[in-house]
Every structure is written in C-alpha cells, then in structure tokens.
Structure 1
Amino acid sequence: MGRMFDLVGRLIAGLQKPANCEPFTPNDLTGLRDTLRPGDVLLVEGKGRISGSIKYLTQSTWSHSALYVGPMAGVATDGEPHVLIEANIDEGVVSAPLSKYLHCQTRICRPVGLSEADCEKVCRYASERIGLGYDFKNVVDLMRYLFPWPVAPRWRRRTIALGSGDAGRIICSSLIAQAFDVVRYPILPKITHVESQTSWRETAEIRHSSLYAPRDFDISPYFMVVKPTLARGFNYKDMHWADLPEVHTGQVTLAPEIEDAIAEVA
C-alpha cells in the first residue's frame, strides 16, 4: 500500500509546472533582504497544478514555504549567496538564493520571541537536511488529511500513514515544522484543557510534522506577519498617484494622463 501511495504521489508531482508568479505588487529584493532574519519562514504562492490543489484544500494563498537562514558560506548562484532552505519536488531539500522568489507573491512569518541560541538550532537542523529526497507519499497523505471527507477529523487522521516513514524524505512544511520542534517552538499545537478540583490549566501537544501545510505558519498565533514595505517605514503621503499632480522642488509636475488630456484640448 505504501508503494502505491508513493507512486501516486510521484504521478501527482509530475503534473507540477514551474511557478509563473505575478505578485500584486512587485517584490523589492533589497526590501526583502533587509527585512528577513534567520528563522523567518518565507511563504510563496505557487502557480502549478499541485500548488493550486494545496491552496484550494487549505483555503489559503500559500502553497510553498522556505526557511531563511542567512547567507551560507561557499554556496551561491551567479554571485548571489544562498539564504533559503527548502524542500521542493524536483530536487528534494536544497538551498536557494532569495531572488528565486523575487517575482512571486510572498509573505514573511517571524517566530516571536525565539532566542538567538534556539534560532541557530532551527537553522542548523534545516541545513543538515540538505540532500534529503522529497516525500511523494506525504503529498498524498496531506491531501487525504485536508480533503473534506464526510468523517470526523480524528478518524480521518487515524487512517493516514503520515508519509513514507523514510527518514531520508520530507516535504517543505514538514521540514520547517521539524526544525521548530527541535526547540519546542509552537506552530499550531493541539491544546488540551486539564481540570482538577484545585486547578485548571492548558497543555500543548505537538502535531505530527507531516500534517503541516504552508498556511499554518500564516495563521499560527505564535508567528508574526512582517511586511517589508511597513518594516522599512511607510508614509502614505509619499505615494505618487497617477491622477494627482506631483510636486518637485516647488514646481508642479502633472501626471502623464493629465498632460495628454490637456494636449488634446489644446
């Protein structure tokens, strides 16, 4: 059965197309580079068939995730250092430059309060997994888990084998979830309320890493969404609107559309 699901996963993965992203607002590579910190999770909106399925099943914009670890010594593409670690279908776990997702819609999710020592452990864990293969069976399992079958979620979860069981294979969100599990940093833990005659408290239980999807970092109450435009300082008064005149050094410069309209009238 495991081999069958692995084969199905490979067939589904074969339908994937390279991402052809068109962000609502173009990414500023300098802005991203200045904003990202080691330990940040970069979410990406892919455009392939599998990406569309993941976005539909999770009701989210995000279909891929990568961990920012900072410049890696001796690893570069066209002179640009690799700063991301990710697991992708074509190559497994690899490092990548930031410009790889310059033309994609992205979101930065930052773990709040993560200590410097634990951040180093998270980044080291991911770095040490470079070279692992991609877990195609986990693709099928994740889709089975997310698909709205007409059974209770707890029973649906029990019918899933949680990936291939091969320690040499992994998917993108599982890789990052495992890295944060090393330092017990929460993403979306299962919270249980424990009551007794004298006290009441909450206990957290870590979910299996294979059940995480990219959107979980976005909706996690423990990760903060960081937007480069706002992080670098934003003043709406500095916006240049096409239908309003621009003022430069005391002179009024009309927008091109207004100048064309005046020329036609003249």
Structure 2
Amino acid sequence: MRYLEPADVLLVEGNSQIATAIKYLTQSTWSHAALFVGTHGNGRLHDPTHCFIEADLLQGIRSVGIEAFAGRPTRICRAVGLSEEERQAVIGFAIDRLGHRYDLKNVIDLARYLLPTPPVPTRFRRRMIAFGSGDPTRAICSTLIAQAFQSVHYPVLPCIEYRAAATGECPDCIDEIMHIRHHSLFVPRDFDVSPYFRVVKPTIESGFDFRALKWAEAANDVGASQRGGNSRVGFA
C-alpha cells in the first residue's frame, strides 16, 4: 500500500458471478474498481483503517480497508498531471457519496449496450436505451470513479470529434474537440486502457534490479529434465 497515492484507481479481478459477467461483457480481466482516498480519508470516514471507496452490489457506496482486496489480482492506475488540490477534489466527490445505493439497472443497461441483440447500427444503439436508473443517489463502481474525475474535468476516455481548424491560416489543420462521455458508460477496464492514466507497478517502483535475481543453475534444470521432471525456472 505504500506505493498508492490519493486518487489512485485500484482495479480488481473478482470471481463472483457478477464479476465473471462483467469480465465477459467487457472482455477484460478487471471486474471492479475502487478509489484510494488515503490512509486517513481526510478524517471523514467512520473507520480510520479504511482507505478505499467502492460501490458494492449489496451495501452500496462504502469505504473499505486494503484487506478487502487481499489475495486478488489488482492493478494500480494513476491519473497523470493532477494537482494536489484536484486530487483532494476527486477524493471529496467520492466521500460525499458514501451511503448511496448501487445502480443494478446500470449493469443491465451496460449489458444491453455491450452485447446488443437487435441488428441496429452502432450510432443508434445509445438512443434505444436509457442508461442507469436516472437516480443520482445510485452508481456502480466505475461510474462513481468516472464522475469523480469528471468533476475536475479530467478525461478518462472522452469522445473525440475532429473538425477543420477554426483559423483560416491553416486549411489542412484539424482540431480535436473532446466531449465528456456519459459516466454510465464507463467500465473498470477504461482506466487501464486510458491514455491519461499510468499503470503503477510496485515491483518497479521499489527499485527493481534484475541482477539481484537468483536463478536455478542450468545443470540442475538438465538433471530435472533427465529425471522426467518439468524443467522450470525458479526464484530463491
């Protein structure tokens, strides 16, 4: 946990039925996302040992400790370029929504969007359905975090429109106009593939040195192979 910073997004690979469904729908390893708010949560969390905000299917938006993700594959994604004030604003947005409910309808609508059954062109599919319950006190894990970053106008995966440059001095120039993607359309993998979030690898952050690794001797590998065992590289 020492490599986490406030406003980091922790992606988690779950193994529940709904987690398996989310991974299938999104074609991704990650089924859940939580926001790291720091070891003290700005003093606004009921339990001082809690340091994450997440949206749980049964308990809604809640705070949890690092032990909630023990033993699960995880990935740390960090928004690049945020100021300390902006980080605190992202955290504050999530903390203010503690106690809100989980939006199960959003999950159902996402399934309909990601695996549409009617033969309708992609550009019309969004108009066919209303995403989520429409209740501002409901959210799923990825939509909550997306809203928190959008509150400081930080992009996750914005929709980009290309237009001819407004100035007449450069007729071949193109402007990129960013549009905020609706928060209900975000899934956990979006933070992983976003060009604006950096993947933090604790092994590298701790000063990885491949020269310090201890490899099995080649002779031992050959001997194991001759004895009918599997030849594997091991770490001491």
Indicate the TM-score class for this superposition, using the shorter chain for normalisation. Answer: 0.7 to 0.9
Which residue does 2:30 correspond to in 1?
Answer: 62
Secondary structure of the residue aligned to 2:85 is helix
Q: Which amino acid aligns with 2:135?
A: D
Which residue does 2:217 correspond to in 1?
Answer: 244
Structure 1: tracts of 5 or more residues without a match: 1-32, 246-253, 262-266
Which residue does 1:23 correspond to in 2?
Answer: none
Matched, 1:100 2:68: yes
Q: How does 1:155-170 map to 2 (within 5 A)?
A: 155-170=124-139
Which residue does 1:223 correspond to in 2?
Answer: 197
**1:61-104 deviation digits (Å, cap 9, x = unpaired):** 0000000010233643xxx7111000010110000001211210
Which residue does 2:152 correspond to in 1?
Answer: 183
Q: Percent identity?
A: 50
Structure-1 separation of matches of 2:22 and 2:121: 21
Secondary structure of the residue aligned to 2:49 is strand
Q: Which amino acid aligns with 1:85?
A: I
Structure-2 separation of matches of 1:160 and 1:70: 37
Structure-2 separation of matches of 1:209 and 1:136: 15
Structure 2: tracts of 5 or more residues without a match: 228-236
CA RMSD of aligned residues (A): 2.1
> Is the deviation greater in 176-185 or in 153-162?
153-162
**1:117-159 deviation digits (Å, cap 9, x = unpaired):** 1111000000000000001111101111111544322211111
Matched, 1:194 2:163: yes
Q: Which amino acid aligns with 1:51?
A: A
Matched, 1:139 2:89: no
Structure-2 separation of matches of 1:120 and 1:156: 36
**1:226-250 deviation digits (Å, cap 9, x = unpaired):** 0111111111222234x339xxxxx
Instruction: State TM-score, norm by structure 2.
Output: 0.85
> How many angstroms does 1:49 deviate by?
1.4
Instruction: State TM-score, norm by structure 1.
Output: 0.76
Instruction: Find 2:21's aligned residue among 30, 49, 53.
Output: 53
Matched, 1:89 2:57: yes
Structure-2 separation of matches of 1:39 and 1:244: 44
Instruction: Find 2:142's aligned residue among 173, 176, 181.
Output: 173
- Size of the aligned set, in residue pairs, is 214
Moved over 6 A (4+): none
Matched, 1:213 2:187: yes
Q: Which amino acid aligns with 1:179?
A: A
Q: Which amino acid aligns with 1:174?
A: T
